[in-house]
Amino acid sequence: MSQVRKKRREAFLLGNEAVVEGALAAGCTFYAGYPITPSTEIMETMARRLPQLPDGVFLQMEDEIASMGAVIGASLAGRKAMTATSGPGFSLMQEQIGYAAMTETPLVLVDVMRGGASTGLPTSPGQGDVQQARWGSHGDHPILVLSAADVPECLEMTVTAFNFAEKYRTPVVLLLDEITAHTREKVSLPEPGDFEVFSRPVPTMPPEWYKPYEETLRGVPPMPPLGTGYRFHVTGLSHDLLGFPTSRPEEVAALVERQFRKIDRFFHDVQLVEHVMTEDAEALVIAYGCVARSARLAVRQAREAGVRAGLLVLKTLFPFPRSHVEKLLRSCRLAVVPELNVGQISREVKRVNEGYAAVRTINRVDGQIIAPAQILKEIA
């Protein structure tokens, strides 16, 4: 047997296109969406790619509420499903995000952040949806929010988003920004087996014994596709172990508690960060998305100038990777949090800081990027 090492297929892709490659590598076969800048290339690429799969489905829906509805329906029917949008559409999706969280329906939602509130700055980058991604839908519910800083990461983090969605039966929001989504970079295209791909647990007991919201070891109950003999009830109302509405305090509390616990117990798995020269850092930059790129350069320049600078790139924004951040805050004198908003992650950093380090923020909301020099000025 000769082992011919096949040359990896590479392509110059937009961040948005890399999302599609990641989704397909993760086993996504269903997309429903509504066009909006700067996320549209995800939708357009899906429109070409999905019908080529034997069971691929692409739908353009009438709005973002409907898009989420279709994705939820497809997921209940057993598909790995996703949608993508930007600010105005993300606002419309909040209702259904809550429904997905409550019913523990896995799905991936990519929000390519643009600038400003309302229609804002459609073609400029922003990071103003960060807290909305965590708390945009009403009521207490867990959710996972991820981010990506460059094109290869768009691909990887989309795979991760699907894996988390399936593993934890939860909606996962992947936050990109206009810059990351519209940058073209070389990526090596995934081959089968490149990524570990996770699919939701399905029940293996006889249907009569299935309790759709039963406690399990991981806190994640198995989930059968609709129509496979496990007839059960799905509702956005607070429900009992069988999935039927309840308002009994102990059952309601148990549901919410388990929904949080299924993720809280696995912080080590879901809280992803990248350390860049943080071991001996005195001046720490905490960044995500396109700002992390500027920060990387700024930290390198600071090192060259003799400053012990380091960078913590947040790939998971929520649950906020508290332990990672806290540990570094204890050993640094200064933490700088540059963001394209008025201070949405810096709130979290300040919340966990407890006086360890001085926290400085760099905030930009004019649709322009934060340049390395701007960060360098704060740390050097």
Partner 1 sequence: MAEVTQLIHQYLRHNKKFPLVFCPGCGHGIVLGSLVRSVHALGLSKDEVVVVAGIGCSGRIAAYVDFNTVHATHGRALTIATGIKMANPGLTVIAVMGDGDAFSIGGNHLIHAARRNIGVTALVLNNFIYGMTGGQCSSTTPEGAYSHTSPMGQLEAAFDIVELTRAAGASGVARGTVFHVKALDGLIAAALSQPGFNLVEALTPCFTQYGRGNGFKSAVDMFKWLKDKAVPLEAYEKLEDKAGRIPIGVFVKRDAPGLETRYAAMRQRLLEKRGGAA
Closer to partner 1 by Cβ: residue 29 or 147: 29
Closer to partner 1 by Cβ: residue 67 or 127: 67
Closer to partner 1 by Cβ: residue 226 or 373: 226
- CA 113 to CA 177: how far, in whole Å? 4
Compute and round to an integer the Cα radius of gyration of the chain.
21
Task: Pick the binder of partner 1 from 9, 12, 77, 330 (CB under 8 A).
Answer: 77
Using the 8-state DSSP alphabet, how is residue 311 labeled? E
Task: Pick the binder of partner 1 from 11, 44, 47, 66 (CB under 8 A).
Answer: 66
Tell me the closest approach of the beta carbon of residue 220 to partner 1, in angstroms. 20
Chain residues 216-245 in contact with partner 1, contact rule CB under 8 A: 225-229, 231-237, 242, 244-245
The reply to whether omega before 319 is within 30° of 0 (cis) is yes
Chain residues 301-330 in contact with partner 1, contact rule CB under 8 A: none
- Judged by CB under 8 A, does residue 73 bind partner 1? yes
Task: Pick the binder of partner 1 from 23, 28, 32, 281 (CB under 8 A).
Answer: 32
Task: Pick the binder of partner 1 from 71, 113, 299, 335 (CB under 8 A).
Answer: 71
- CA 249 to CA 239: how far, in whole Å? 11
- CA 91 to CA 95: how far, in whole Å? 8
- CA 284 to CA 375: how far, in whole Å? 11
Q: Which listed range, 75-83, 119-127, 279-287, 313-321, lies at the site for partner 1 (CB under 8 A)? A: 75-83
Closest CA to 78 of 106, 56, 111, 43: 106
Task: Pick the binder of partner 1 from 11, 65, 241, 254 (CB under 8 A).
Answer: 65
- Judged by CB under 8 A, does residue 205 bind partner 1? no
- CA 147 to CA 320: how far, in whole Å? 12
Closer to partner 1 by Cβ: residue 100 or 159: 100
Bridge-based pairing state of the strands 184-188 and 334-339: unpaired
Structure tokens at 227: 């129509």
H or E segment and range at residue 354: none
Number of residues that bind partner 1 (CB under 8 A): 46
Tell me the closest approach of the beta carbon of residue 113 to partner 1, in angstroms. 24
- Judged by CB under 8 A, does residue 208 bind partner 1? no
Residues linked to residue 285 through DSSP beta bridges, in sequence order: 311, 336
- Judged by CB under 8 A, does residue 68 bind partner 1? yes
- Judged by CB under 8 A, does residue 57 bind partner 1? yes
- CA 72 to CA 92: how far, in whole Å? 15
Tell me the closest approach of the beta carbon of residue 50 to partner 1, in angstroms. 9
Instruction: Give every CB contact of residue 185 below 8 A, 6+ residues apart in sequence.
Output: 12, 13, 15, 150, 151, 152
Binding marks (x or -) toward partner 1, 239..278, rule CB under 8 A?
---x-xx---------------------------------
Closest CA to 85 of 43, 27, 135: 43
Closer to partner 1 by Cβ: residue 211 or 322: 211
Tell me the closest approach of the beta carbon of residue 226 to partner 1, in angstroms. 5
Q: How many CB atoms lie within 10 A of CB 224?
A: 20
Bridge-based pairing state of the strands 334-339 and 171-177: unpaired
Chain residues 89-118 in contact with partner 1, contact rule CB under 8 A: 95-96, 99
- Judged by CB under 8 A, does residue 138 bind partner 1? no
Tell me the closest approach of the beta carbon of residue 232 to partner 1, in angstroms. 7
- Judged by CB under 8 A, does residue 79 bind partner 1? yes
Closest CA to 336 of 297, 289, 282, 293: 282
- Judged by CB under 8 A, does residue 75 bind partner 1? yes
Q: How many CB atoms lie within 10 A of CB 103?
A: 21
- CA 105 to CA 305: how far, in whole Å? 50
- Judged by CB under 8 A, does residue 139 bind partner 1? no
Task: Give contact residues for partner 1 (rule: CB under 8 A).
Answer: 30, 32, 51-54, 56-57, 59, 61-63, 65-79, 81, 95-96, 99, 225-229, 231-237, 242, 244-245
